[in-house]
Amino acid sequence: MSTQTRISEVDLTYDEAAKARIAELRAMRETIPHLVVPTDKKQTRRLSRAASLPPAFVKLTVVATESSTALVRGGSDPNRMRDLTSYADAFEPVAAELEALLLFIRHSVVVARNTAGGLALMCLTVDTPIPPEILQQIAKALQISAESLYERAGLLSPDDKPRVGVREAIAADHDLTAEQRQALLNVYESFVAAHH
């Protein structure tokens, strides 16, 4: 069995597990009473103002409206206030637990990416030299130079970098055509000549 096949099977297994958890979470929405999905950010901000009232104030208001029906206004039914307060008290720990789980999952994702990246960089630390064309492909995929790749892997410090002159750098740049390289060399030579 090749490495590619095993990686694909692992990815498929994780993919299926993640899709199953998403389905479970979406199904959970149906089991939570009074679940309201905000339509926009403004709605959430408007709700936050009233929601920030101390629960003791709401409980006292329930007692006051039960004692004096003259205080009942605009649908402020004491039974409904009591029910919603009870719901909020019961489901706040559920929300906190789900938020904590979210943070743990995000952290686990970052750790997995970090570990995979570290393992990928370890490939550069083997005793056998990596063929230059492979190194160039890795550097190109990362959109950095080969020297930067070695620096990131901890194999080369900025002080260890060989000093490449302008002429050598232009000559080594294969993204330029021969004519472009010659034009750059001519411009460089004219600057050098003007400086001396």
pLDDT at position 6: 46
> Would you tell me the crossing angle of helices 55-67 and 78-122 to the nearest 10 degrees?
160
Residue 165: predicted pLDDT:
74
CA gap 59, 49 in Å, rounded: 17
Indicate the DSSP class of residue 128: S
Work out how many domains the chain is built from and give that number.
Answer: 2
Residue 75 Ramachandran class (φ > 0 left, ψ -120 to 50 alpha, else beta) = left
Rounded mean pLDDT for each run of 10 residues along the chain, 196 residues in total: 46 83 92 86 75 84 83 79 89 94 94 86 68 78 79 66 72 86 87 77
Q: Domain of 172?
A: 163-196
Residue 104 forms part of a structural domain: no
Please report whether residue 191 resides in a domain. yes
Task: Let me know if residue 74 belongs to a domain.
Answer: no
pLDDT of 12: 63
| Residue 144 belongs to a domain | yes
Q: Which residue has the tokens 């719901």?
A: 87
Integer Cα distance of 116 and 121 in angstroms: 9
Q: What is the pTM of this model?
A: 0.53
For residue 75, tell me if it sits in a domain: no
Looking at residue 27, what is its pLDDT?
A: 93
pLDDT of 105: 94
- pLDDT at position 78, please? 84
Residues 175, 190 within the same domain: yes
65 within 8 A of 72, measured Cβ to Cβ: yes
Q: Does the residue 181 lie in any domain?
A: yes
Q: What is the pLDDT of residue 38?
A: 81
